[in-house]
Structure 1
Amino acid sequence: MSLFRVERRVPLAPEEVWRRLTDWPAHGRQVPLTRTRVLTPGPNGAGTRFTARTGIGPLSFDDPMEVVRWEPPAAGRPGTCRLEKSGRVVRGWVLVEVTETPGGGSRVVWTEELTVRGVPGAFDPVLARAGRLLFGRAVDGLLRDPRGGRGRSVR
C-alpha cells in the first residue's frame, strides 16, 4: 500500500474549506480525465457514496468511495471526513482534516493510503509521489481563491 500526505494552510474559514473539499463533483474538475458522480441523494454525510471515473473510453476505471466518518468543523472543533475506496482497480482510504489556525484561516491535512491493482508493491514510493503531486494540485484547485489567492504548501 502507498501512503501519502498533503498539507496546506489557507486564509479561508474552516467551514468554507470544508464545503470546498467535500464538494465531490468539484474533485472531478480538478483531476485530469476524471468525472465524479454522487450516487446517494440528499446532503453529504456518513453513508454518502460517489464514484470518480477516470480515463478515456475503454481505458477508464471507476473509483467508488463512501463517506464513513463525517464530522464538519464547528466552533473550536476540527473537521474530519474519512472515505473508504472499494474499487476493483483502486482500494484504500482517505482522511481529510480541517483545523482552524491561530489568527484565522485553516490548515488542511489530506492523508491517503491506496493500492492500485496490478502495480507491484516495489512501486509504492513512486505511487505515493504521484499521489502527493496529483492530489496536492487538486486540493490547491479546490481551495483557490476566486480573486487569485491560493493555499501554500506546508513542508
Structure 2
Amino acid sequence: MPGIRIVHRTPLPAAEAWLRLTDWERHGAQVPLTRTVVETAPPTHVGTRFTARTGVGRITFDDPMEVVVWQPPAGGSAGLVRLVKHGRVVLGWAEIEVRPLRGGGCEVRWREELRVRGLGRPSDPVLAAAGRFLFGRALARLLTP
C-alpha cells in the first residue's frame, strides 16, 4: 500500500484553508474526470459519507469515503480530518491536517495510504507518484487565494 505525503504552505488563515479543503464537491472539480457527491446532510461531521466517481461514459469507478475524525482548527490548534475509503476498487485512508503558522498562513499536511484492488506491490511506486501529482495539484488549486 503506497504512502502519499504532501506538505503545502499557504497564506490563507487555517480556518479558510479548512473550509476549502473540506468542501468535498470542490475536490471532484480538481481531479480530472471526477465528480464528488455528498450523501449525508451538511455540515460535515463524523459519519459524513461522500463518493468520488471517476471515469468516462460506462468506464467509471466509485471511491466512497467516510469521515471518521473531524476536528476543525480552533484557537490556534491544528485541524484534522480522517477519511476511510470503502470502495470495491480503491481502499485505504486519507488525512488532511491544517496547522496555523506563527505570523499568519498555515501548513497543510496530506497523508494517504492507497490500495487499488487487483494491483500488487509492484504497482506501488506508480500509484504513489500518480497520487502525489493528482492530489498535490488538487491541493494547490483548492488553496489558491
Relative to the length of structure 1, the TM-score reads: 0.92
Partner of 2:33: 33
Q: What is the alpha-carbon distance in structure 2 between the residues aligned to residue 34 and residue 129 of structure 1?
A: 19
Q: What is the alpha-carbon distance in structure 2 between the residues aligned to residue 27 and residue 98 of structure 1?
A: 16
Query: In structure 1, what residue type is equivalent to 2:36?
Result: T
Partner of 1:126: 126
Q: What is the alpha-carbon distance in structure 2 between the residues aligned to residue 54 and residue 76 of structure 1?
A: 36
Query: In structure 2, what residue type is equivalent to 1:115?
Result: R
Query: In structure 2, what residue type is equivalent to 1:29?
Result: A
Partner of 1:63: 63
Structure 2, gaps ≥5 residues long: none
Q: How does 1:73-152 map to 2 (within 5 A)?
A: 73-145=73-145
The number of aligned residues is 145
User: In the TM superposition, what whole-angstrom CA distance separates every residue of 1:63-117 from its partner, at most 9, and x where no partner exists?
Assistant: 0000000000001210000000010000000010000011100000000001001
Q: Percentage identity across aligned positions?
A: 59
Runs of 4+ in 1 over 2 A off after TM superposition: none
User: In the TM superposition, what whole-angstrom CA distance separates every residue of 1:119-146 from its partner, at most 9, and x where no partner exists?
Assistant: 121110111011000000000110011x
Structure 1, gaps ≥5 residues long: 146-155
Partner of 1:72: 72
Deviation of residue 17 (structure 1)?
0.3
Partner of 2:11: 11
Partner of 2:23: 23
Q: What is the alpha-carbon distance in structure 1 between the residues aligned to residue 42 and residue 102 of structure 2?
A: 34
Moved more, 15-24 or 41-50: 41-50
Q: What is the alpha-carbon distance in structure 2 between the residues aligned to residue 118 and residue 142 of structure 1?
A: 31
Q: What is the alpha-carbon distance in structure 2 between the residues aligned to residue 21 and residue 86 of structure 1?
A: 20
Deviation of residue 42 (structure 1)?
2.3
Query: In structure 1, what residue type is equivalent to 2:11?
Result: P
Q: What is the alpha-carbon distance in structure 2 between the residues aligned to residue 41 and residue 103 of structure 1?
A: 36
Q: What is the alpha-carbon distance in structure 2 between the residues aligned to residue 111 and residue 70 of structure 1?
A: 15
Q: What is the alpha-carbon distance in structure 2 between the residues aligned to residue 20 and residue 45 of structure 1?
A: 15
Deviation of residue 2 (structure 1)?
1.1
Relative to the length of structure 2, the TM-score reads: 0.98
Q: What is the alpha-carbon distance in structure 2 between the residues aligned to residue 99 and residue 45 of structure 1?
A: 19
